[in-house]
Amino acid sequence: MKSTTPTRRQFTTSALATGVIGTATLATSSLSPPARAAGGTAQATPPTQAPHWLSLLGTSQQNQPVTDVRIEGTLPHGLSGTLYRNGPGLFERDDYRKANVLDGDGYVQALSINNGKATHQAHFVRTEKYQDEEKAGRYLGATWTTRAPGGFLANLGGGGIRDQAGVTTYQVRDTLYAIDENTTKVHVLDPDTLETNSIIPAGLVDGMTIKAHTKIDAHTGDWIMLGGNFGPSMSIASAVHHADGTCTAAPAFKAPRQVYTHDFFATENYFLVYLQPAFFNPFSFLAGLNSFTDAITWKPEEGGLLALIPRNGEATRYIETPASWMWHALNAYEEGNTLIADFVGYDDPEHFIGKDPAFSAIMDGRLAANQIGGHLRRFVVNLDTHTAREERIADGPFEFPMTHAATALRKHRYGYMSYGTHDSIFHSGLARVDTQTGDTQSFDLGKHVWVGEPIHAPDPAHPLQENAGWVIAQALDGATGKSFYAIFRAENLSDGPIAKAHLAHHMPISFHGHWTPRTT
């Protein structure tokens, strides 16, 4: 089967030509000592036992049929629709375990709410990888954090990374999609049954791959994708799927640095890509010595670089910024000669890469000490002078920032995000931040609860009002070992949940969701 990750397809030939594989035996010092069966990062921090319930975030699940959900409290009148969510759902095969909680086969959920009742279902995305490995009963290749079984030789050329369709899900013009990081294709799902219907090209030029995060312009109906490829140098490309069914794919261009990015910004007239100083080394990866993530090095002394890409085809400009690690953008918009881009930024990504990442330690049943949280930050870009500054809007720790869908690419005021009352990457509450004043409403569900990304569901009576409607988040209850969905009023988030939709089992960590007024 062909790999859908560009690192194998795009620059294996280049690596061979430069003698990378021939010199692999001289580079063994870059190979991390095995800390787990999957060959992840070495353990450097004295182990601290993780609560058993928190380890459920990296515990596999099975397909779940449509089931009525027990409601605690009262679901509000007017809240009707479906919350789709996507994230990893399978973490081990044949006693070989993934090295990171962010890594697993795509597992899509649907929480459907109507007339004060709710149902829930969950299914694996039937990617080619998933189906082949189901038949084999074992992993057949590497994934982005985990080297392939079989050691050095099995990982030459990158280990054959394939699409897991396990990061985001979007319903665009009545079609439900599941998307992975760095893939040339997207999976089309049945919105009622979650069965996988087809696999279609993402639409970028020359087989370029896309990022899992896309943008939907509620005003025009445009669905915006951005990505590119790694290689001897890194390329950036974009595509816009228009409401009339046509697609505009822009030519790819080479970036001045080869770094890992997970998300991007979009406004009416620009794309903005933050080239954070997370440098990717293709040589150790292709030589079979490191997983993709172990081949990323954080170099804050290099600073950040914003790629300002005009959507009219004019030349890209690069603007220097301070160094921040960014997982997720909140939103971006233009205001006169200024571009505003809000995001959650970290001083250091040690929770993800480094000596003992928290996202890897949890797979060993440990809590790592390095869990520095993120804060809500802002890039202010002067479009005349092509300069930028970074501001801090509010102190976290925050993650998974979201806005009202109608504000995408336009001016927003409020952001909703997960929140921790202590400096930890595993959050236990939610927050609403006023990006104009920095004022923050928050509610903590307790130290024995994990809370993920909040999704805003508009109030049909006030469909465009940012602080109206409801906020829904998936959570894990440590007391019961089961998951639930917490529903808050957007305007009074600090009052706590008005209802909880309780599942009869746990759900693994779930990354991203999409709300639609359509019910299943």
**Chain segment 462-488, per-residue pLDDT in tens:** 999 999 999 999 999 999 999 999 999
Distance (Å, whole) CA 112 – CA 477: 21
Task: For CA atoms 169, 170, 171, 176, give the dihedral sign.
Answer: negative
pLDDT of residue 109: 98
- Residue appearing with tokens 């299943």: 520
Distance (Å, whole) CA 301 – CA 242: 40
Question: Bridge-partner residues for 177, per DSSP?
Answer: 170, 188
pLDDT of residue 157: 95
pLDDT digits (tens, 9 = 90+) for 65-121: 999 999 999 999 999 999 999 999 999 999 999 999 999 999 999 999 999 999 999
CA triple 427-379-227, angle to 5 deg: 80
Contact predicate 164/107, CB 8 Å: no
Where does the pLDDT of residue 51 fall: very low under 50, low under 70, confident under 90, or very high at 90 and above? Answer: confident
Nearest to 129 by CA among 105, 113, 111: 105
Contact predicate 116/78, CB 8 Å: no
Sequence-distant (≥ 6) Cβ neighbours of residue 71 within 8 angstroms? 116, 117, 118, 499, 500, 501, 502
Where does the pLDDT of residue 12 fall: very low under 50, low under 70, confident under 90, or very high at 90 and above? Answer: very low
Contact predicate 413/470, CB 8 Å: no
Could you give the C-alpha distances from 163 to 131, 143, 170, in angstroms and in order? Answer: 12, 9, 17
Higher pLDDT, 5 or 426: 426
Sequence-distant (≥ 6) Cβ neighbours of residue 137 within 8 angstroms? 93, 94
Q: Is the pLDDT of residue 208 over 50?
A: yes
Where does the pLDDT of residue 16 fall: very low under 50, low under 70, confident under 90, or very high at 90 and above? Answer: very low
Amino acid in the structure at residue 429: G
Distance (Å, whole) CA 410 – CA 335: 9
Total residues belonging to the chain: 520
Amino acid in the structure at residue 323: A
Sequence-distant (≥ 6) Cβ neighbours of residue 174 within 8 angstroms? 191, 518
The token pair at 40 is 């992840």
Distance (Å, whole) CA 196 – CA 473: 25
Where does the pLDDT of residue 35 fall: very low under 50, low under 70, confident under 90, or very high at 90 and above? Answer: very low
pLDDT of residue 371: 78
Count of other CB atoms within 10 angstroms of residue 389? 11
- pTM of the prediction? 0.91
Secondary structure tally for the chain: helices H, strands E: 6, 34
Average pLDDT, the chain: 91
